[in-house]
Amino acid sequence: MLTAIRWSAARWAPLAACCLLLAGPAQGAAPPPEPVARYWVRLRHKGGVRFDPATYFSPPAQARRQRQHLPAADSTDFPVRADFLRQIRAVADSVTLVSRWFNAVSCRATPAQAARLRQLPGVASVEPWEGSAALVAGQRSATERGTPRISADDRQLARRQTASLGGPLLRQAGLNGQGLCIAIFDVGFVGAVRHPAFQQVHQDKRVVATYDFVRRGPNVFVGGTHGTEVFSCLAGLLPDGTPLGLAPQAEFLLARTERLTREIYAEEEAWLAAAEWADRNGADIINSSLGYTDRRYFPEQMNGRTSLVARAAALAVRKGILVVNAAGNDGEDPDWHTIGTPADADSVLAVGGLDPDTYLHIDFSSYGPSADRRLKPNVVAFGTVLAAAPGGYVRTQGTSFSSPLMAGFAACVWQRNRQLTAMQLFTQLQASADLYPYFDYAHGYGLPHASAFLRPGSTTPAGQQTVDFIRQDTVLAVVIRPEAAVIPAQVLPLYSDSVRLVNTAPQKVPAVGREELAPPPGRQPERQTAPAGPEPAPLVPLVRPGYLYWHVADRRGVLRSYEVREVTQRAVLQIPLRTLQPGDTVRVCYRGITQSYPQP
């Protein structure tokens, strides 16, 4: 009978609750609890705080500042005042971040608690995080599985992804990232401890520190495999020793800063906390294959000043750290299309994706410029790669993998000249790209190459011209010079039947930080090769096709239009003069030479 009574009570409980609601609140009933939201609390000052840089910063962090002639510490390095922090903890529901760099505290509080926080003597302002609701950001599974069998096509891709940046030249010069410390911010590093791709890294104890800023503990080998794939594009090796990245001898700081399936403001706080941690522990480079877009911002806010992570990244650069960030995978999204943050920060090296087959912008890679019309992306690298994943290796795609390829390249360049400042390195990386000084909002300055540092002048014939600008009645014609029209196996005619814009087949790729596997190549039948098989086939020549790049820039240097053309004839371009405005400049880049035509 007791069982029947319990069942009956459970059955009629919803009806009873409904009757109570209709009857109204009972006399003396407690009001519903106030909602708890996230607030950013700025503090007034750090007066009276004592700070010893020698005990706070690791020796590598101190050495980094000394090399770049930076002060041992400044006020942004000082801790927040302990008494201010105690007052906030006593009022707020909980404290989620304490930032030295911004002299601020992030906390969760009710509106009443927020009002009390504003009255505290050490508080300068209390600002709510706007739109802080958690939203599902992706459907990717937590663990991406690789395969131990590597096809001949995938092995070729593995070799090309580093060779495209001059990997063989760097290795011949003994440049492999040794002496550099690279921090990787990602969603998790599942499988990275036991994966054979990282055997040498772990054997040499070159993962010097780890921290999970989501769960607040040292174990970062949870959450997802994306970080593992990114890590391999810096330091991974195939079983036959083929490098997947350019910095296999660097040291690493691994930070988990993001949840796999949600984008909330807590992740920007985690990014900031990880940047402060990386600075303290001696990072020279931060690779961030993450980005935040329409779940919390509008495109017009991608100006390098609005988001917390953009401001944090800019401050990291001021402390001598090169920040390399994926440009984003929104190139085919009609509602966003542009770069995310922190790639929008002016001192962050934003890396776009290049198609390995065409050497052109890969469709999913986000476009520039920034909201305030600065050049973005800055450079490009392969957007389709072979990477390590639990169980073996995967062919995957996204600017998440362009970024670590570039970070490894930067580590090698910095290894060669440790006296460069972070911004000097930034500038030299841009100048080493194959389109420089030409640029556009799809490729930036193009694909950097080691030869620019190891064989100066070998790739760009100084003083040569490859095109002529011919002003006619109604058009500006661009004609390739006869001496520049000789290409392997053929000489370009003056005219041909067609000149077409080069494009590639569209391919939708999930957001940066959540990329999925790339489709297998369809040009050849799949050929399986044992991991330790015979001598690999010769590397496909890494020669960018003979494209002509051209743009029109206004007097401020902002592009009105830009295009890439596949060259099939010498008379390659006609620009109607009516489309040019006073002060415009037409620039053309062909075979590594940039020439300009100023419109009167």
For 329-357, the pLDDT digits (tens) are: 999 999 899 999 999 999 999 999 999 99
Q: How far is CA 170 from CA 163, 289, 429, in A?
A: 9, 24, 14
The pLDDT of residue 148 is above 50: yes
Q: How far is CA 137 from CA 140, 259, 295, 335, 513, in A?
A: 9, 10, 8, 15, 10
Least confident span in 205-219, 267-281, 399-413, 474-488: 474-488
How far apart CA 194 and CA 42 sit, in angstroms, is 43
For 157-170, the pLDDT digits (tens) are: 999 999 999 999 99
Cis preceding linkage at 369, omega within 30: yes
Return the DSSP state at 35: P
How far apart CA 130 and CA 202 sit, in angstroms, is 42
pLDDT for res 518: 74
Determine the 3-state secondary structure of 574 from DSSP: strand
Return the DSSP state at 319: T
Least confident span in 27-41, 174-188, 238-252, 407-421: 27-41
Return the DSSP state at 398: S
The pLDDT of residue 12 is above 80: no
The pLDDT of residue 216 is above 50: yes
Q: What is the mean pLDDT of the chain?
A: 86
CA atoms within 13 A on the CB side of 283: 30
The pLDDT of residue 431 is above 50: yes
What would the mean pLDDT of 498-512 be, rounded to a whole number?
54
237, 200 in Cβ contact below 8 A?
A: yes
pLDDT for res 259: 80
Comparing CA positions, the residue from 357, 409, 412 lying closest to residue 378 is 409
What would the mean pLDDT of 53-76 be, rounded to a whole number?
97
**How does DSSP assign 516-559, residue by residue?**
-BPPPPSSS---EE-TT-SPPPPPPP-----EEEEEEE-TTS-E
pLDDT for res 314: 98
What would the mean pLDDT of 514-539 be, rounded to a whole number?
53
Paired tokens of 176: 């492999």
Q: How far is CA 262 from CA 311, 329, 562, in A?
A: 22, 17, 36
**Percent helix, strand and coil across the chain, each rounded to 5?**
25, 25, 50
Q: How far is CA 445 from CA 164, 359, 411, 534, 560, in A?
A: 15, 13, 19, 38, 17
Q: Which phi-psi region, left, alpha or beta, contains residue 174 (left: φ > 0; alpha: ψ -120 to 50)?
A: left
| Burial category of 219 from C-beta neighbours within 10 Å (exposed 0-12, middle 13-18, buried 19 and up) | middle
CA 123 to chain centre: 34
How far apart CA 473 and CA 454 sit, in angstroms, is 46
What would the mean pLDDT of 24-38 be, rounded to a whole number?
69
pLDDT for res 29: 60
What would the mean pLDDT of 261-288 be, rounded to a whole number?
90
For residue 135, give the H/E element and its range: strand 135-136
Question: φ and ψ at 297, to 5 degrees?
Answer: -135, 170
One-letter amino acid at 450 equals: A
The pLDDT of residue 478 is above 60: yes
pLDDT for res 34: 80
The pLDDT of residue 2 is above 50: no
For 74-112, the pLDDT digits (tens) are: 999 999 999 999 999 999 999 999 999 999 999 999 999
Determine the 3-state secondary structure of 565 from DSSP: strand
The pLDDT of residue 14 is above 60: no
The pLDDT > 70 percentage for the chain reads 82
Comparing CA positions, the residue from 251, 198, 247, 248 lying closest to residue 221 is 198
- Which tops the pLDDT comparison, 256 or 494? 256
What would the mean pLDDT of 49-68 be, rounded to a whole number?
97
The pLDDT of residue 370 is above 70: yes
* 18 band by pLDDT with thresholds 50, 70 and 90: very low
Q: What is the maximum span of the chain, computed from C-alpha positions, in angstroms?
A: 102
262, 136 in Cβ contact below 8 A?
A: yes
* 5 band by pLDDT with thresholds 50, 70 and 90: very low
pLDDT for res 241: 94
- Tell me the CA end-to-end span of the chain in Å, nearest whole number: 98
What would the mean pLDDT of 528-532 be, rounded to a whole number?
40
The pLDDT of residue 404 is above 90: yes
**How does DSSP assign 47-94, residue by residue?**
TT----HHHHS-HHHHHHHHHTT--S--GGGSPPPHHHHHHHHHHSSE
One-letter amino acid at 154 equals: D
